[in-house]
Amino acid sequence: MELPSLAVAVCMFVCLYAPVGGYPNGKVREACTSMIPCHGGSPQLSPEHTITVNGTEFKPGDNIEVSLSGPDFEGFFIQARDAEHLDGPAVGSFMLGDRRLSQLLTCGRTKNSAVSQTSKTKKKHMKVYWIAPRGAPRHVQFLATVVKKYRTFWVKIPGPIVSQPDVLSPTTPLHATSEAVSTSYPVSSLSKPFSASGCGSMKFCIRNPSNCDPESASCFFLSFQKEESSVFIEMSGPSEGYLAFALSHDQWMGGDDAYLCINEHHRVHVSTAHLTGRSCPLLDSENALEDVSWRLVDGVLQCSFRRSIRLSAYKGRFNLDASYYIFLADGEASEGGLIYKHHRQPLITDGLYNVTGPPQDIGGSRSPRLIKAHGALMFVAWITTVSVGVIVARFFKPVWAHSFLFGKEMWFQVHRMLMLTTVLLTSISFVLPFIYRRGWSQQAGFHPYLGCTVMALTIFQPLMAGFRPSPHSPRRQLFNWFHWSTGTTARILAVVTMFLGMDLPALDLPDAWDTYTMIGFVAWHVGIDVLLEIHSYCLVRKVEVIEDDRVQILQSLTSAEAEGHLFKQVVLTIYVCGNIVFLVAFLIAVSKI
């Protein structure tokens, strides 16, 4: 029976996780502002490491010894900042204590204003020297980000505050920065939700889900309305952290013009940014936005602003009278306006659009078409064709023993046709992610590795079947065992791989599908398998032959199976219909993302 082997698939899925790569060389200038290592996930809350200094006062030109210590850590990032404006730029510069394990970085316009690691070598203690600059603020605080492991890190661990005694304090109290919006333009509050009125006629709109109402708490909405030489932009969606959209020349993150609305202490900071590769956005120090407004109500973040169609004076800003792919993303943000990587695939338009051209009302997809096709083909192959093919080969030999198709027994021809279809669908589906990613994905965890294993077993299985020995050969039993074990292993790994794939950002299906539906399919298949096994066992019991006062189970079950042909055909029909229901439900779920 296949019950134990298929049940193991669910257990294997629970145990697997996805490793990813990082920045072991410490060259993380992208983190200069946020001090977040861009590893995904959220930072730890209770620091295990401490920062100490050898003095509490300084004057311009002084050297302060700064030490970072604690349990083993792989990476670190140290800066000094104005203690009264911790979101401001780095203050002063550093000298190294150990050039083998640490290196200097330039953040902003200040050379050597940060220190990071040179490798993943484990460290317990790190010492550097801070050089106090001229014009330093009265109070300077040291901050450190520490990476214990890739996904175990602490951000902006507060260190000691050092002061220069003969400098007057600014008039702004220390806590005032948390209440102010760090923008250089007037900001006002919105009084009501945005409206879809005028979408497609007066303004260019993007909605997800398609045609959703921006007043709804589940609607992501982005609109562009041309006004002479400027464009008025509205963006809203369910987010407690940030919303962002970007204009791109392709469907890949990198080299893009981005706009972010960040929830910072229950106020919204609107900023422009430039995306470099797949790293954290580099927020601009200068904004080219006007008439900024925002609103936070019931978990829905709204912001609006106006910008000129052409901004030649601002580096990194695209002209709005050209065509671009449009990205729409959301994610988490922490205190100080620090943003984290979006936890799901951004919405990306299917084509290039000019937001100042004829108004349109379009949707978008959070899953690329090639990835949708990949998932759909794999689902058809491993949920439908291979499952039915196994049932036919295992239980329908006697049922169709005297029926022939193209000169061969019908059960064999049906089995072979379904299995070759599985090989074809799997092969086509296998290449689609590589076409989309233009290579190997480093962000997909175990999924691609297991997928390659399944592909190898899928190719090996028919090749092995092509060299099967004759039914009466002494090696036939060995072939049968290898044929069964290879097929069963491929099916188990395929189910586990599909479980892992549905949670990847590129194909993030609704949660109900991620768990209940796939587990339901496994239970459905195991249930049908058990039912047919019990049915076969009961038929065997009916053909006991008594020889020399003992009961012998006949090896040939032809006559007994004949009694259950109708039952098996009914079960097969129900099973195929059930698989079709699962397939249709999957395709509907894929079409909505």
DSSP string, 516-541: IIHHHHHHHHHHHHHHHHHHHHHHHH
**pLDDT averaged per 10 residues, the chain (length 593):** 42 37 52 78 86 91 91 93 88 85 83 88 91 89 91 91 73 31 53 89 91 87 93 91 91 86 82 78 75 86 92 83 92 68 80 93 79 87 88 81 77 90 94 85 83 93 87 86 91 89 71 69 86 80 49 46 72 85 74 63
Beta-bridged to residue 326, according to DSSP, are 247
CATH number of 29-163: 2.60.40.4060
Q: What one-character DSSP code corresponds to residue 316? A: T
CATH number of 188-365: 2.60.40.1210
Crossing angle between the packed helical segments 565-591 and 518-542, to the nearest 10 degrees: 180
| Residues 113/133, Cβ–Cβ less than 8 Å | no
| Total count of residues recorded for the chain | 593
d(CA 256, CA 24): 25
| Residues 363/219, Cβ–Cβ less than 8 Å | no
Topology agreement, domain 29-163 and domain 369-592: no
**SS3 assignment, position 420:** helix
Q: How far is CA 557 from CA 121, 329, 541, in A?
A: 66, 61, 10
d(CA 355, CA 192): 24
Stated pTM of the model: 0.55
By the 10 Å C-beta count (0-12 exposed, 13-18 middle, 19+ buried), 464 is classed as middle
| Residues 328/346, Cβ–Cβ less than 8 Å | yes
H-helix segments, 331-446: 369-379, 386-395, 410-437
Handedness of CA 41, 45, 46, 50 (dihedral sign): positive
Give the per-residue SS3 of 439-501.
CCCCCCCCHHHHHHHHHHHHHHHHHHHHCCCCCCCCCHHHHHHHHHHHHHHHHHHHHHHHHHH
What pLDDT, on the 0 to 100 scale, is given for residue 22?
Answer: 46
DSSP string for residues in 126-171 = EEEEEEPPTT--SEEEEEEEEEEETTEEEEEEEEEEEE-TTSPPPS
What pLDDT, on the 0 to 100 scale, is given for residue 176?
Answer: 26
The domain segmentation of the chain, as residue ranges, is 29-163, 188-365, 369-592
Q: How many CA atoms lie within 13 A of 581 on its CB side?
A: 11
d(CA 217, CA 237): 7
| Residues 224/246, Cβ–Cβ less than 8 Å | no
d(CA 283, CA 270): 10
What pLDDT, on the 0 to 100 scale, is given for residue 563?
Answer: 60
Q: What are phi and psi of 121, to 5 degrees?
A: -55, 130
CATH number of 369-592: 1.20.120
